[in-house]
Amino acid sequence: MELEALQEVHSEIRAQGAQIVVLTPEIERYTRAMHHKLNLTFDMLSDLHLKVAEQFGLVYTLPDYLRDLYKSFGSTLDRFNDEPEYRLPMPARYIIDSGGIIRAADVNADYTVRPEPAKTVRRLKELRESGNDSPPKRPLDRTCRLP
Amino acid sequence: MPSLQERLDEFKRNFESGAPPFKAPPEIIATMHRATAELEASGAAERALKVGDRAPEFTLFNQDHVAVSSADLLRQGPLVVSFFRGHW
């Protein structure tokens, strides 16, 4: 559902001079199939074994009882994600400015709550209008004294 | 057009009602709620990267097995990075 909703705003994201990528822990053939099925016009990137999600601090391990439940559904993460430890990323959406600094961060421990794509577009627009899509200037950490 | 959260909430209502096609029994729903409550209580979300932090750079393969680098994309403007759990 989230991918479809992001697709709906993709042209608005592009109109703000921005781009979007979706990182997924699934193995590539599932990613390719999903990308094709949904006719997505943005890239889905394979973050196999959650290497990048880990650097963003998003990875958690499913508790044993939940792992057993998912297994009973046939939703096995070892199969789809090559993830025998049953780790997942918390759903999250970031806006990174052209200087590499995070300007918006939405992270949810509850995976049934996702940030609204429309909110992401609004935030991109604000950044653009403020002419401030570059890193904030670091304040001087030394006091300059006149001689 | 309903918002994404409205669509998710609708799906959740249907799922948790125990109606077909999922026919989810109450004990399964309780297990899922327990796991979410524990993850929330762990404070994990608060430890993720935040506004003002420098984003890690990455190069990953896209759906067509073409390498895509965040540094290349950022040279063209701001970048939205969305983390997806998977289709399962």
pLDDT score of A133 = 63
Q: Which of A142, A116, A128 is nearest to B7 (CA)?
A: A116
Chain A contacts of B11, Cβ < 8 Å? 1
Q: Which amino acid is at B73?
A: L
Which residues, in sequence order, are CB contacts of B41 under 8 Å at separation 6+?
none
Q: Closest Cα of chain A to B12: distance in Å?
A: 8
> Residues A113, B8: contact at Cβ < 8 Å?
yes
**Domain boundaries, given as residue ranges, for chain A:** 2-129
B88 — pLDDT class (breaks 50, 70, 90):
low
Instruction: Check CB contact under 8 Å for B60 and A5.
Output: no
Instruction: Check CB contact under 8 Å for B63 and A35.
Output: yes
pLDDT digits (tens), chain A, 147 positions: 889 999 999 999 999 999 999 999 988 888 999 999 999 999 999 999 999 999 999 999 888 888 888 777 776 777 777 777 788 899 999 999 999 999 999 998 887 888 899 999 999 999 998 876 654 444 444 444 444
CB of B63 within 8 Å of a chain A CB? The answer is: yes
CA closest to B27 among chain A residues: A69
CB of A47 within 8 Å of a chain B CB? The answer is: yes
Q: Closest Cα of chain B to A46: distance in Å?
A: 6
pLDDT score of A141 = 43
Q: How far apart are CA B47 and CA A105, in angstroms?
A: 12
Instruction: Check CB contact under 8 Å for B81 and A19.
Output: no
Whether ipTM > 0.90 holds is: no
CB of A17 within 8 Å of a chain B CB? The answer is: yes
Fold of the domain spanning A2-129: Glutaredoxin (3.40.30)
CB of B19 within 8 Å of a chain A CB? The answer is: no
CB of A113 within 8 Å of a chain B CB? The answer is: yes
CB of A10 within 8 Å of a chain B CB? The answer is: no
Backbone angles phi, psi at A119, to 5 degrees: -70, -40
In this model, does residue B18 exceed pLDDT 50? Answer: yes
Q: Closest Cα of chain A to B18: distance in Å?
A: 15
Q: How far apart are CA A113 and CA A130, in angstroms?
A: 29
Q: Which of A77, A63, A25, A92 is nearest to B37 (CA)?
A: A63
Q: Give residue-wise pLDDT tens across range B40-78.
A: 888 888 899 999 999 999 999 999 999 999 999 999 999
pLDDT score of B57 = 97
pTM higher than the cut 0.80? yes
Q: What is the residue-wise DSSP string for A106-123?
A: EE-SSTT----HHHHHHH
